[in-house]
Structure 1
Amino acid sequence: MNETRPRILFEEAGRRGAEALMAERGGILPWCGPACIALAAGCSYAIACALLRGVAPERYAPEREIATTYWRDMVAALTEAGLSVAALPVEGRPTLLRLVRNGVEGDALPTGTYLVRITGHFLLLRVHGFGLAEVHDNRLSGAVLSTRAHGLCRVTHVARLEG
């Protein structure tokens, strides 16, 4: 889908986030999976849902809202949108704060944008370095990663995104 190809990852950061996605849906809170796709790919929530339906039509019926998404479908939809998705190994289910500070091999997580699955939730993490990161999801738009902003949640999957 050429209309979903991002020019720059998070090109609208600060201007478009959870609030814009909720406005697209007429004030209804968006679900985390399609919201992460929309924010990462720079597309609408409706196109994010269409991407998910395109990669796994057997799981996402056109007449139903997409409430639950699967990691493999998220990766496939982001790839279809033109993003490079490189999965990283996660051992021992670290907290999100520990992952940012210690990375996957003992060093801090390198700067960049990541798709993260914490227990039962997807989010985008923009790492700035030195343990500083911001969270983007269906409720938060650029919130500093902290104990109150998903920091103590356990990470099950993580992948680096590049446009």
Structure 2
Amino acid sequence: MAHRRKTALLATVVALLIATVAAGAAILIMDTATDDVPQAAPTTAVVTEVVTPPVPSTVTVTPAPAPPPAVTITEEPSGSEVIQGGVCQASEVRTFGVDPSGQSLVCGYSGTPTPHWLRHGPDDGGVHVVGEPCDSRVDSVSRDSAGLFIMCGGQTWVTHP
């Protein structure tokens, strides 16, 4: 009976250690500096005014605003070769890549000053907004409107822990 208690206690300790290491790894993966976050390019809207000769009055036509540009989600970064643990560029931080075996990776910091290609949790395939609510029991990894990596940080979508 005492042997079973010791075994159960040991199994519990091992499970807690595994959970702690997994949580620490997730935090280290997402340890990015906010200065390294690529900014979206500004968009320019062109408004054209058309004036017809005065018949009885002047008519102004303003076209409807152009729709926002479509989100392009790319799995192929422009820099280094995508290999788990391989170095990636600071400009690629929070971008997704696919290694030769088809494994999806993300460029991020793992407790080092140099970003590397890292494995990530399940991607829900959706597009979410940083700060929106999420459920960490269900949500793990997603993308923002620019196609960059975000994660569920407990109750809201965040760029890093």
Could you tell me the TM-score, scaled by structure 2's length?
Answer: 0.29
Q: TM-score scaled to structure 1, two decimals?
A: 0.29
Q: Which has the higher contact order (CA 8 A, sep 6+)?
A: 1
